[in-house]
Amino acid sequence: MNETMLCYIPFVGVIILSFACLLYAFGGRSGKWKRRFIGSLICATALWIEFLLMGLFQWVMLVIYPLTIGAFSLGYGSEIPFQKVVKRTVIVAASLFSSLGICLLIGGKAWLILPVEVLIAATSIWLGVKNPIQAAPEEFFICLFLWTPKLMYPFVGNII
């Protein structure tokens, strides 16, 4: 696979992820099923496609979908700041659980991405608690923050 193709794969992954983030934000307005089931399926699909194109897909990776449904189904709202932090931290932990599984599965340099993902996830907690922007775009970006690092895992340590 040439370097140009290697550039297209994450590009396609981010485009697919953008649709999932849109559904995540729409699900925050009404119809939670959009976020929980469709948005999570699209997120997982973006990652599966990348792993497939990189020749690293394993059937056990299908578990990413139910894990994402669980993470996307957790509540995060509260008027009490401490409760917001706790709820958002649980969501982030649920999201990072699938990344931990990916690291265990593919090993190697994947462990170098996990701290980056944790830092970005912590940033999403801060943004979710402080709410510096309106809720709808904030939800889009939180989904994007939690999922963009996952799209890096298929490229770890692979020279094709």
Instruction: Dump pLDDT digits (tens) for 4-14.
Output: 989 999 999 99
Tell me if the pTM is above 0.85: yes
Q: Which two tokens stand for residue 149?
A: 């690092």
Contact 121, 157 (CB under 8 A): no
- Gap between the Cα atoms of 15 and 157, Å rounded: 23
Cβ count near 76 (within 10 Å) = 19
Residue found by looking up tokens 């396609």 in the block: 12
- Gap between the Cα atoms of 27 and 34, Å rounded: 5
* CB within 8 Å of 21: residues ≥ 6 apart: 39, 140, 141, 143, 144, 147
pLDDT digits (tens, 9 = 90+) for 70-82: 998 887 777 888 8
- Gap between the Cα atoms of 11 and 95, Å rounded: 22
pLDDT digits (tens, 9 = 90+) for 95-104: 999 999 999 9
- Gap between the Cα atoms of 68 and 117, Å rounded: 15
Q: Which amino acid, one-letter code, is at 3?
A: E
CA angle, residues 53, 151, 31, in degrees to nearest 5: 110
Mean pLDDT of the chain: 90
- Gap between the Cα atoms of 6 and 72, Å rounded: 30
Listed by start position, the domains of the chain span 3-155
What's phi and psi for 89, nearest 5 deg?
-65, -40
100 sits in which H/E element: helix 81-106
Model confidence at 155, pLDDT cuts 50, 70, 90, reads very high
